[in-house]
Amino acid sequence: MSKYISYEQSGVNIDANDEMVEQIYSHVAKTFGPRVIDVKGGFAGLFRLDYDEKLFKKNYKNPVLVACTDGVGSKVQLAAKMKKFDTIGIDLVAMSVNDMLVGGAEPLFFLDYIAVHKLIPKEIAELVKGIAAGCRMADCALIGGETAEMPGTYRKNDFDLAGFAVGVVERKKILTSNAVKPGDKILGLASSGLHSNGYSLVHNICFKKSALKLTDKPNELQGCQLGDVLLEPTKIYVHSIVKLLAQYKVKQIIHAMAHITGGGLVGNIPRVLPKNCNAVIKKSSWPINNIFTFLQKQGPVEEAEMFRVFNMGIGFVLIAAEDFADSVAGKLKKYGEQVYQIGTITKGSGKVVLE
């Protein structure tokens, strides 16, 4: 036996990393647009900002870069338990790009960080495949990333994800709460399920208190496997929102928007309300996803807590000028969204009122 200690004996396999890089490249390259300068094996991603060629459809007079970062939280634990790695990357992209939409920005590029106990090239390739799929849904390029093998930090089969997105918005088009006023209508876009928030409570309800299995098919979920429902990826709203905003080049029809993440409707809408306005939300104005009614009953969980933790079926909110709300809803439906008029802006103190 050699007297020398190697990196591989310490738990890190450089050869596996090289193999992984080869496996993921095809997924990454599919996200590249004409602005990406592809330097395979480079140490950083390159993205052009010049607009002097016909291939660039949009000219920004006063471009403002917008940056977001986020993770997926404890949802990754379910992916690890189910050995299903091809959708959690969509969640990762969604959490950042949906956030930047709120300010009126469109995504440009994305980077990921993957940390694992042990680097298994096939599993990392599946993770990156999902991230690349999310980037294509968001019309942004995956121009870089990092995979860290840390057996001393993560337990066997554990992993974590973080994502970083950069977008752009015309300065005069930046959305704030300034235009929101009483009479504005609140439009809600349907979520695809839990998205990526509240999973600590989900874990407590389903696996600690109830001892359910990921393979169970509760009647309340209409025969769907619990694990599949819990891993349903976060909906990405980029296509429809960017397309909608492009329709209004002069008038400001959309007064504000909110991405409904941790804190639910009651925690996220106040972030885009003036101090003298309330958002009055009618709870019966949209159908509640089966997963939420199942979790509330299984807990049991008080309704107020459900609305404070989960999106309850509404993943994104737009506050629109009263006279244009129906037109906006019609356009969003045309773009493939499920849209509900869920409330109205009234005079108040900057909070959400559930009715």
Q: Mind spelling out the 3-state secondary structure of 167-197?
A: EEEEHHHCCCCCCCCCCCEEEEEECCCCCCC
Q: What's the CATH number where 18 sits? A: 3.30.1330.10
**H/E element holding 107?**
strand 106-116
Query: Which of 149, 173, 197 lies at the terminal end of a domain, its last residue?
Result: 173
pLDDT, averaged across the chain: 91
Same domain? For 207 and 309 the reply is: yes
Same domain? For 201 and 333 the reply is: yes
pLDDT of residue 160: 95
- Confidence (pTM): 0.91
Q: Report angle CA 118, 121, 150 to the nearest 5 degrees.
A: 25
Number of domains in the chain: 2
Q: What is the pLDDT of residues 101-149, one digit of tens each?
A: 999 999 999 999 999 999 898 999 999 999 999 999 999 999 999 999 9
User: Tokens 């600690």 map to which residue?
Assistant: 208
Does residue 2 form part of some domain?
A: no
Does residue 180 form part of some domain?
A: no
Q: Report angle CA 3, 7, 11 to the nearest 5 degrees.
A: 115
pLDDT of residue 8: 65
Does residue 242 form part of some domain?
A: yes
Same domain? For 109 and 218 the reply is: no
pLDDT exceeds cutoff 70 at 154: yes
User: Do 177 and 270 touch, CB atoms closer than 8 A?
Assistant: no
Query: Which of 138, 173, 208 lies at the terminal end of a domain, its last residue?
Result: 173
User: 264 lies in which domain range?
Assistant: 185-354
Q: What's the CATH number where 334 sits? A: 3.90.650.10
User: What are the structure tokens assigned to 348, written together?
Assistant: 């108040």
Same domain? For 141 and 250 the reply is: no
